[in-house]
Amino acid sequence: MDLTHAPGVADFRAEARAWLAEHVPGSPLPSLETAEGFAAHRAWEAALHADRWSAVSWPAEYGGRGVDIERWLVFEEEYWAAGAPGRVAQNGISLLAPTLFDHGTPEQRARVLPPMASGEVIWAQAWSEPEAGSDLASLRSRAVRTGGGWLLSGQKTWSSRAAFADRAFGIFRSDPGAAKAHQGLTYLMFDLRAPGVTVRPIGRLDGKPAFAELFLDEVFVPDEDVIGEPGQGWRIAMSTTGNERGLTLRSPGRFLAAAERLRALWRSAADPRDTALRDRVADAVVGARAYELFTWAAASRFAAGMPIGAESSLNKVFWSEYDIALHETALDLLGPDAELAQGAWAEPWIFSLAGPIYAGTNEIQRDIIAERLLGLPKGRR
C-alpha cells in the first residue's frame, strides 16, 4: 500500500501547474449559465484545447494526452487549486465521451470528439422527461424509423446546459412493443438547432437558465448518430454510469480546493472561540481528504483491473451531500455577506443544492447501495 506517485507524475503536475498559472483568467468569468458567460467559458475550452489540456485522458488523436487515471486526478487537483473556470464541456466529456469510447464507432469518435475537446460543440444531456425522472425507463419520447435515420418526437426536460448548447444526447423509445420498459430504447445524438427542435430555457432557483425543456417534433437524426445497436440504449446508457464515470463525474481536486478556500476563510473571518463553526470547517477538511483517498483507492482498483460498479453510488451520495455542507459552512462564516449574489460562495452554493437531485437522485442511489452492495431485497419504492 502506498500513496506515492509514479515516476514522471511530478513532471506532469509541474507542467500543468505552470500552464495554469500562465493562462487561468485573473478574475472569474461571468456565470456559465448566461449567454455572455457561456461564450466566455467556450473560449476557455478552446484555450485549454490549444495546448491539449481540455481532455487529458483522451488519446492524442482526439486532442488529449493519453494520460492514465492517476495523472488525470493530478491534473484535476492542479486545475481546481489554480481557481480555473468551471467546465462548460463537462456533460460531453464526462458522459458522452466515455459512451463513445465504449460503444461508438471509430467514425463517430473521429467526428464527435475533436470538436467536443475544443469547445466548438458543447453538449447537453437529454435524459429526463416530464413523466420519467427517477423512473427513467418509463420514458415516452419516440424514435421512429425513417429513410436513412430516425425521427425524434416528444419532450425532454431538466436538460443541463441546453439553453446555450449546440447538440444533445439521450435515449428514446424506438420499439414501443418491447416486453419491458428498459427494452426497445435507442441512444442517439441530435442537433439542438435542427428543424423540429424547440428549446425553452428554465430558470433555476437563482433565475439563471441552467437547464431547459426540449420539444421535439419529428426531428431527423441520421443513422450515423445512433450509438450502438438500436434497442440497446438502456444497456449502453447504464454501462457508463458504473465504470470510471463514478470517478470522473466529480474529481476530488474540486473539493480539496474548495475545502482549502473554506479553511482560509475560517482563518481570516471566524471567531476562534466559535468551536461549532470550527468543527464544521474541520469536517469539511476531513471530508475532502476522505473523498480524495476513497478515489485513490477506487482508481487503484480500476488500474488493477477490478470492476467499479455500484460503489459509484457511494461516491455520488458522498460528494453531493458534502458539497452542500461545505457551502453552507462558508455562508455561515460570511455572516451578513453570505446573501450577496456576487459573493464567491453564493452561486456555487446554489449549484451545490442540485447535487443530490441530478445524476440519479440520492434516494435512488441509496436504493442501489442497499440492494447491490448490501444485498437487501428489492421492495416497493
Partner 1 sequence: MRFLPSAEQSEFARTLHGLLGVSEVPAAVRAWGAGDHGPGRALWSRLARTGLFALAADEAYGGVGPLPVELALGFVELGRAGVPGPVVETAAAAVLLSELARPGAEGEEGGAEDAGDAGPAKRFLPGLAAGEALATLTLPGGGPYALDADAATYCFTVSAAGELRLAGGGPGVPLGSTDPARRLSRPAPDGELLAAGPRVLAAAETALGWARLLTAAQCLGVGEALLASTVAYVKQRTQFAVPIGSFQAVKHRLADTLLALEFARPLVWAAALGLAPREVAAAKLAAGGAAYASAMTALQLHGAVGYTEELDLSLWLRKARPLRDAWGSPSQCRAAVLRGAP
> Which positions are catalytic?
244
Say if CB 354 and CB 204 are below 8 A apart. Answer: yes
- Decide: is 1 part of the binding site for partner 1 (CB under 8 A): yes
Q: Which residue among 249, 263, 309, 328 contacts partner 1 (CB under 8 A)?
A: 263
Burial 281-301, CB ≥16 within 10 A → b, else e? bebbbebbeebbebbbebbee
Q: Cα–Cα distance between 52 and 100 in angstroms, integer?
A: 19
Site stretch for partner 1 (CB under 8 A), options 32-40, 148-156, 245-253, 278-286: 278-286
Site stretch for partner 1 (CB under 8 A), options 26-34, 206-214, 312-320, 336-344: 312-320
Provide the minimum distance between the beta carbon of 69 and partner 1 in the complex, in angstroms, as a whole number: 10
- Decide: is 21 part of the binding site for partner 1 (CB under 8 A): no
Q: Cα–Cα distance between 175 and 168 in angstroms, integer?
A: 21
Provide the minimum distance between the beta carbon of 235 and partner 1 in the complex, in angstroms, as a whole number: 25
Residues 104-163 that bind partner 1 (CB under 8 A): none
Q: Which residue among 95, 192, 237, 317 contacts partner 1 (CB under 8 A)?
A: 317
Site stretch for partner 1 (CB under 8 A), options 13-21, 29-37, 280-288, 337-345: 280-288
- Decide: is 4 part of the binding site for partner 1 (CB under 8 A): yes
Q: Which residue among 126, 299, 333, 350 contacts partner 1 (CB under 8 A)?
A: 299
Q: Which residue among 14, 21, 144, 376 contacts partner 1 (CB under 8 A)?
A: 376
Q: Which residue among 267, 307, 335, 340 contacts partner 1 (CB under 8 A)?
A: 267
Q: Cα–Cα distance between 92 and 109 in angstroms, integer?
A: 12
User: Is 245 strand, coil or helix?
Assistant: helix
Q: Which residue among 93, 112, 221, 369 contacts partner 1 (CB under 8 A)?
A: 369
Q: Which residue among 18, 50, 264, 269 contacts partner 1 (CB under 8 A)?
A: 264
Site stretch for partner 1 (CB under 8 A), options 35-43, 156-164, 193-201, 372-380: 372-380
Q: How many residues belong to the site for partner 1 (CB under 8 A)?
A: 53
Residue in the structure block whose three cell numbers are 475532502 = 288
Please give the DSSP secondary-structure letter assigned to residue 54: S
- Decide: is 367 part of the binding site for partner 1 (CB under 8 A): yes
Provide the minimum distance between the beta carbon of 73 and partner 1 in the complex, in angstroms, as a whole number: 9
CA-CA distances (angstroms) from residue 375 to 23, 174, 292, 367?
Answer: 49, 33, 27, 10
Q: Which residues contact 258 (CB under 8 A, 6 or more apart)?
A: 80, 284, 288, 323, 326, 348
Burial status of residue 370 (CB atoms within 10 A of its CB: 0-12, 13-18, 19 or more): middle
Nearest to 266 by CA among 253, 288, 245, 281: 281
Q: What is the DSSP string of 284-347?
A: HHHHHHHHHHHHHHHHHHHHTT----THHHHHHHHHHHHHHHHHHHHHHHHGGGGG-TTSTTHH
Give the side-chain half-sphere CA count within 13 A for 118. 11
Cell of 378: 428489492
Provide the minimum distance between the beta carbon of 365 and partner 1 in the complex, in angstroms, as a whole number: 8
Binding residues (CB under 8 A) for partner 1: these are 1-6, 9, 70, 263-264, 266-267, 275, 278-279, 281-283, 285-287, 289-291, 293-294, 296-297, 299-301, 303-304, 311, 314, 317-318, 363, 365-367, 369-371, 373-381
